[in-house]
Amino acid sequence: MPADDTVMNRVPGVSTTYDPEWDHDARGRGPWQRRLKVARLMARMHYYASVETDTPAVSPSGPVVSLTSYGSRIKTVHLTIESIARGLARPSRLILWLDDRAALANLPRPLRRLQQRGLEVLPTEDFGPHKKYFPYVRSEDIGVPLVTADDDVLYPDWWLAGLVAAYRTNTEAVHCYRAHVAKVEHSGARFAPYADWSPCTTMSPSHLNFSTGCSGVLFPPAVLSALKSSGSEFVGRCDFADDIWLKLHALRSGCPVAQITDVPIRFLGLLRTQRIGLFQANLFGGGNDRALAATFETTDLRRLAQIGSAPVESSGEIRANAQP
């Protein structure tokens, strides 16, 4: 990501300048510079979460934002939530789902303070990463979009505003900041290995785009209704690959995925949390490939193969020099 690029100026409805301080892949930053940068942001969010304030974390007009956490991450998830709560746009509901009964009975003080500002901390069964959305779609009436977030990421203040602005321009698409473009054999028999897929470098909606949840994803009500109808059928098929299950239902709902900018953005992750995540198991351990094979049926693959073989018209968009 070029350090002088004003990415957010290209997001409809959001007039704020891209700040490379929040971008994991900003150029000119080595590993130690990035760690220092994250440490500064974590200290800032911890300070905000520790200060007594009446500033609400929610607003009636926003979408629902939902996330989950587990284990040692519960002690640091308030940093992620505080970064969301201090955004230019705020959610109508901000929900943290936990399956840890002991943690629910004795929440860290920063989470209790966030509860006073509107955060909801709710119990759920252990559905793995599917906890970030499934308890909500299972138990709630679907009427507004749902935004999922990860518990180990620091989001800039324009994060939710960008998702909301994109949704207003196209209410029938899934919107995200980071996506990969699927590769399917022309026969429609199978996907190419997930590790061979390319980063998305266009803002054009496509059913070949697979959103990655780490940078946040907005799902329209049509996708949420489909997820509600499918229930817990993901169990035994893609237990630890929620992005794949969510993409399947976007495809079957007729909702393409649109990346908000023509540069995929990976926001900064909290220190000492990502090493216990699913990324390495799903990518390098073949978890995504197994989940794709167990989840997508022949009709789904053939549809994607047809899209992939169709001629692509030039959209006239100005491309940025993306750094995956």
Query: What whole-number distance in Å separates Cα of residue 64 and Cα of residue 61?
Result: 10
pLDDT in tens, 275-301: 444 544 454 458 899 999 999 999 999
Domain spanning 7-309, CATH architecture: Alpha-Beta Complex (3.90)
Model pTM?
A: 0.86
Domain boundaries, the chain: 7-309
Pairing of strands 257-259, 217-219: unpaired
Tell me which residue of 82, 95, 88, 98 sits closest to 50, measured CA to CA.
82
Predicted local confidence at residue 322, as pLDDT: 26
Looking at the chain, which runs of residues are DSSP E strands? 64-68, 93-98, 119-123, 146-148, 174-176, 179-181, 198-199, 209-211, 217-219, 257-259
93 strand-pairing partners: 64
Report DSSP letters for 2-62, one per residue: -TT--GGGGSTT------GGGBTT-TT--HHHHHHHHHHHHHHHHHHHHS-----S--TTS
Question: Within the chain, which residues score under 70 in pLDDT?
Answer: 1-32, 34, 47, 52, 272-285, 310-324
Pairing of strands 174-176, 146-148: unpaired
